[in-house]
């Protein structure tokens, strides 16, 4: 509280000031190998001794902010060799209820309280709690608070609100934007890069998919959006995904991920990003991982509905898991000639998203009536629910009659979506609004539904691959 005794507070050295890493409000001794990993990456990027490696995260949602904070924690003390910044739009105000909750979070964490007092930043949170001051999202991010993740303070970050200033000389750009914003923002970025001589490396964290129906129906992934908008070749654009709940990762829960793309960049970046609690592997199948990243959000909404409607029935959730993963495998065989198997981090990413991600949370809230579809898919305190637009994208794409495949029982051509009953039901609930959330259970209990294994075997034993679906 405001009256907390502070006379015995010891000073914490500023994040920039010592050869140590700032982790969750605590100063920790630096691991000497970090500098070696940084030097290797600097050499690969052709950086001179007096020119710092410039890393900028574009977008300040929960995962984008945590990703930047993890890099700051690990490498920020090497300020002569690396500069880490994050861009977010200015002007987003923090409402009083959130300011009051933020104040409670601050006072529940002694390390955070001391840090703010040391930085002469505590008083503004007192004033905001009392309604005497308005806080802004970019302002609190500088102090280590992400608006979409108030309960998990991160380290202080260097925040830039001017996009041109943030990206014009960046060596590595992290895309932390939802897929619905990626194209627009990177189109602007592309304008700033027209005169660039060096080609930056881009790591996309975005897990969403958009559909385009002209000139031929196809999906467009965030990495494709970035390449199209900026002219950066795909070999310099990578995707990172895995079973990553942002708040848990920052609290040092063990996690792993895969960085996918061209070998030249994915292997050294995997090494650079790897931390004791965050293992990063590399993989060449960018398409499957990125598509699965979008698909899991689709089915996570349904998982949340099933959990809510069945009072967290383990049996019902496992039945849903079996059906939705078979649909995911079926769809990836349409989009990739030899897709990576749904195993390892791919399967784990799907599992954790269905279990706890924001899309599952959204499905739960819709099913129990706490949220309505009229409230939109950008939710206060959670950000963009990317699964909603992905449902629309995949449904539109897989409804195209010219993509028809032979129905295994009816022996007649059908659009691929006809073999994806969960996807069809989610579209009826979320997009066309023909049925209520309870319809997801009716779909699971349909006696005519095939064994999920049949769908998988059909996908694996038939030539389903449609290059046109990826605009190829």
Residues with a catalytic annotation lie at 296
Q: Is 73 helix (H, G, I), strand (E, B) or coil?
A: helix
Asked whether the CA dihedral 234, 235, 237, 240 is positive or negative, the reply is: positive
**Residue closest to 74 by CA, chosen among 116, 33, 115, 118:** 33
Bridge partner residues of 378 (DSSP): 384
Q: Which residues contact 66 (CB under 8 A, 6 or more apart)?
A: 146, 149, 154, 246, 247, 249, 250
Q: How far is CA 67 from CA 17, 70, 124, 244, 247, in A?
A: 21, 5, 26, 10, 11
Tokens standing for residue 358: 């924001």
| Main-chain dihedrals φ then ψ at residue 56, nearest 5 degrees | -135, 135
Q: How many CB atoms sit inside 10 A of residue 451's CB?
A: 11
Cβ proximity of 321 and 354 under 8 Å: yes
Q: Which residues contact 384 (CB under 8 A, 6 or more apart)?
A: 61, 178, 180, 181, 377, 378
Q: Is 193 helix (H, G, I), strand (E, B) or coil?
A: coil
- Cα–Cα distance between 200 and 205 in angstroms, integer? 16
Angle at 183 between CA 182 and CA 186, to 5 degrees: 80
State how far Cα 462 lies from the chain centre: 32
Whose tokens are 């279990």? That residue is 355
Q: Which residues contact 6 (CB under 8 A, 6 or more apart)?
A: 114, 117
| Main-chain dihedrals φ then ψ at residue 212, nearest 5 degrees | -125, 135
Cβ proximity of 60 and 136 under 8 Å: no
Tokens standing for residue 468: 């046109």
């Amino acid at each position: 509280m405001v009256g907390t005794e502070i006379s015995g507070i010891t000073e914490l050295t500023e994040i920039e000031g010592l050869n140590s890493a700032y982790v969750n409000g605590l100063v920790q001794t630096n691991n000497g190998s970090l500098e070696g990993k940084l030097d290797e990456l600097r050499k690969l990027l052709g950086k001179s001794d007096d020119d710092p490696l410039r890393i900028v995260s574009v977008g300040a949602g929960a995962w984008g902010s945590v990703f930047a904070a993890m890099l700051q924690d690990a490498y920020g003390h090497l300020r002569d060799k690396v500069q880490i910044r994050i861009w977010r739009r200015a002007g987003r105000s923090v409402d009083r209820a959130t300011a009051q909750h933020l104040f409670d979070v601050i006072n529940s964490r002694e390390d955070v309280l001391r840090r703010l007092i040391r930085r002469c930043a505590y008083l503004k949170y007192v004033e905001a709690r009392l309604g005497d001051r308005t806080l802004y999202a970019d302002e609190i991010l500088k102090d280590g608070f992400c608006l979409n993740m108030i309960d998990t303070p991160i380290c202080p970050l260097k925040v830039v609100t001017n996009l041109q200033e943030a990206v014009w000389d960046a060596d590595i750009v992290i895309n932390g934007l939802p897929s619905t914003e990626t194209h627009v923002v990177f189109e602007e970025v592309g304008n700033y890069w027209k005169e660039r001589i060096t080609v930056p490396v881009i790591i996309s964290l975005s897990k969403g998919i958009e559909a385009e129906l002209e000139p031929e129906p196809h999906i467009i992934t965030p990495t494709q959006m970035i390449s199209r908008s900026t002219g950066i070749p795909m070999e310099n654009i990578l995707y990172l995904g895995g079973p990553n709940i942002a708040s848990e990762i920052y609290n040092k829960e063990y996690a792993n991920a895969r960085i996918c793309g061209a070998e030249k960049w994915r292997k050294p970046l995997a090494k650079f990003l790897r931390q004791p609690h965050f293992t990063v592997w590399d993989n060449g199948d960018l398409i499957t991982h990125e598509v699965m990243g979008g698909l899991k959000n689709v089915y996570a909404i349904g998982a949340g509905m099933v959990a809510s409607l069945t009072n967290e029935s383990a049996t019902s959730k496992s039945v849903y898991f079996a059906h939705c993963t078979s649909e995911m495998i079926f769809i990836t065989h349409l989009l990739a000639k030899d897709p990576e198997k749904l195993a390892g981090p791919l399967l784990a990413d799907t599992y954790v998203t269905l279990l706890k991600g924001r899309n599952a949370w959204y499905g739960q809230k819709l099913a129990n009536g706490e949220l309505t579809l009229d409230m939109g898919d950008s939710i206060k305190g959670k950000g963009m629910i990317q699964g909603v637009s992905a449902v629309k994208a995949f449904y539109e794409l897989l409804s195209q009659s010219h993509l028809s495949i032979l129905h295994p029982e009816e022996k007649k051509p059908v659009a691929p979506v006809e073999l994806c009953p969960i996807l069809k039901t989610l579209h009826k609930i979320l997009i066309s609004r023909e049925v209520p959330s309870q319809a997801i259970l009716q779909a699971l209990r349909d006696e005519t539904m095939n064994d999920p294994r049949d769908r998988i075997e059909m996908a694996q034993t038939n030539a389903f691959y449609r290059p046109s679906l990826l605009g190829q």
